[in-house]
Amino acid sequence: MGIITISAANCKNCYRCVRFCPVKAISIRDDQARIEDKACIQCGICVNQCPQNAKQIQGGLEAVLRYRASGQPLLLSLAPSYSGAFEQSLTEIAAELLKRGFSLVEETAVGARIVAGEYRRLVAAQGDGGCLISSPCSVIINLVEKHYPRLLPHLTPVVSPMIAHGRLLKARWGPESRVIFAGPCIAKKEEAREPAVAGAIDAVLTFAELREFLASPELPPAQRPRSLAPNPDAGKGRWFPLPGGLLRAAGLAEGVLEQDILIVDGMEEVMAALEALAAGEIKPRLVEMLACKGGCIGGPFMPKAPVFPARRDRFITTLLSLEDGEHIAGREEIELGREFRVRPYQRIYPGEKKIRAILDAMGKTTPDKELNCGSCGYESCRDKAVAIAQGMAELEMCVPYMREKAENLASTIIDFTPNAILVVDAQLRIKEFNPAAEKLFKVMAEAVKERPLGMVMDETHFATVLNSRRPLQVKVEYPHLGIVTHQRLSYIEEEDLVLALIIDITDMERQKEAFATVKRETIAKAQEVIEKQMKVAQLIAGQLGETTAESKVLLTKLIQLVQEGGDENVLP
């Protein structure tokens, strides 16, 4: 499982992460975003961009608590960008961590300084025409290994400062000690378990996780481990988080001709540089690459406040205020070499026929219909069609296509419903007049659209709904057309419109009238029979009187039934 997971419940399928992922490693299937781990370079951009906080990062705190509980010495390697993320000084952070079970807090810059020396040596030994791509940034390694495997031989075969420092700490304090790295980068979580360098770092925390740990309760003094003396020998290794920092730390910035050196930061520049290198358009001797714009201080997992320039300012102020310690690097012998492996992520590029068929299915039947609006997360409709063919995207991600589909469905319903539909605006001008309305009011839509409603019917009920903003149901007769209608009027707040659904109830009204006539006649007949019976009863008194009384009861019931039956035809 990768280090980023997506909560299906939170993902609202907005495609923002697809848009921002520099290597398009996010697929959408069944209306859910999924990270394709084989393609993901762990830049973390999508985590930061998700407005729903749907992405979770594999946590490292659990491991730290486990190591602490087991009594193994906990050593913290603190990435040099810490001063951009924390207001406290290194000494203050270290003091708080010692109260919570750490034995040592040391700057990763100690490892960076040694790595910088190795770069200096390799550049000096480099033959003519060689090109080295810097490798302290794990995202750059992932990018080259997965997406630019041809450039793999150019990755500088040196471990990152994190790994160098982890090895240094273990060499000094014993292999049983647990080295925890804290930094601004989630890619370090995977780098720590990469087979080529595994064993140097036992857990990786983001600065946010470290902050969480710092907020946890202190250990009682009796349970705190003995503190160990940190190596203050970080020197210019502290410059690594800034673009050009590695070169400065290695003392290379002045030694190589300007055009031999390329410094790029941010995914856009990095990928452009890799493309140019792969195409042979540029031939620098050394390319320093940092995936995050502005270097690690600009990374997606640095706190949002203060803003980047203020963070950078604080970082540089801290950096200049720190003095170099005694130069003790090199006392421990550690392996600095590193191998990389090709992990190509290849997608089969579909043929033109397939792309064309998908574009057609999206309604992009002609080039002018290819809006290239980017709402699906892809640069162009064609890119999106390719992604669909590769199983990374779905047809329904095209917003204009879905809107058109919905509009077509809506207009089909409006066109084919047997009931008249009218829409009027706040000025009582007709905006919609469907074919059933044309038939009912015997006027063509073109003749009345955008014209006053009064041309077709009385405006009173529509004006009432506009003013009250409440729905209304009325029966309205149009004697000149020979029709009776039942009208349901609703106010549409978002558009300030009135929508009317008009049902022709003329036939129903006629049936009701015919039934009422029959009813009236039946009642009259029954009354007549009763009166006649009563007269006969008065003439023949005695035993016949009872029968007559029964007839009267029966006929009276019949009258009631007829009257009640008539009420069932009243409109709801």
Which is nearer to ligand SF4, 35 or 203 (by Cβ)?
35
Query: Rule CB under 6 A: which of 172-191 touch ligand SF4?
Result: none
Which is nearer to ligand SF4, 230 or 294 (by Cβ)?
294
Which is nearer to ligand SF4, 52 or 72 (by Cβ)?
52
Q: Does 399 bind ligand SF4 (CB under 6 A)?
A: no
Q: Does 11 bind ligand SF4 (CB under 6 A)?
A: yes
Comparing CA positions, the residue from 476, 464, 468 lying closest to residue 420 is 476
178-183, strands of its sheet edge to edge: 102-107, 74-78, 178-183, 203-206
Pull the structure tokens for residue 478. 């149009």
Query: Rule CB under 6 A: which of 45-64 touch ligand SF4?
Result: 45-46, 50, 52, 54-55
How far apart are CB 49 and ligand SF4 at their closest, in Å? 6
Q: Does 23 bind ligand SF4 (CB under 6 A)?
A: yes
Which residues, including other chains, have CB under 8 Å from residue 37's CB and lie 6 or more apart? 1, 2, 25
Stretch of 44-52, 191-199, 434-442, 547-555 lying at the interface with ligand SF4 (CB under 6 A) = 44-52
How far apart are CB 2 and ligand SF4 at their closest, in Å? 8
Q: Does 17 bind ligand SF4 (CB under 6 A)?
A: yes
Alpha-carbon span 310 to 397, nearest angstrom: 39
Which residues, including other chains, have CB under 8 Å from residue 203's CB and lie 6 or more apart? 60, 63, 64, 67, 178, 180, 181, 192
Which is nearer to ligand SF4, 308 or 345 (by Cβ)?
345
SS3 assignment for 192-206: CCCCCCCCCCCEEEE
Among 6, 64, 162, 203, binds ligand SF4 (CB under 6 A): 6
Stretch of 43-51, 251-259, 305-313, 502-510 lying at the interface with ligand SF4 (CB under 6 A) = 43-51
Q: Is 94 helix (H, G, I), strand (E, B) or coil?
A: helix
Q: Does 41 bind ligand SF4 (CB under 6 A)?
A: yes
Preceding omega of 306 cis (within 30 degrees of 0): yes
Among 14, 395, 414, 529, binds ligand SF4 (CB under 6 A): 14
| Residue 491 and residue 466 in contact, taking contact as beta carbons nearer than 8 Å | yes
How far apart are CB 180 and ligand SF4 at their closest, in Å? 22
Q: Does 33 bind ligand SF4 (CB under 6 A)?
A: yes
Binding-site size for ligand SF4 (CB under 6 A) equals 26
Q: Where are the alpha helices (DSSP H) in 342-419?
A: 352-361, 381-389, 399-416
Pull the structure tokens for residue 440. 């009912």
Cβ–Cβ contacts within 10 Å for residue 281, how many?
A: 9
Residues of this chain that interact with ligand SF4 (CB under 6 A) are 4, 6, 11-17, 21, 23, 25-26, 33, 35, 40-46, 50, 52, 54-55
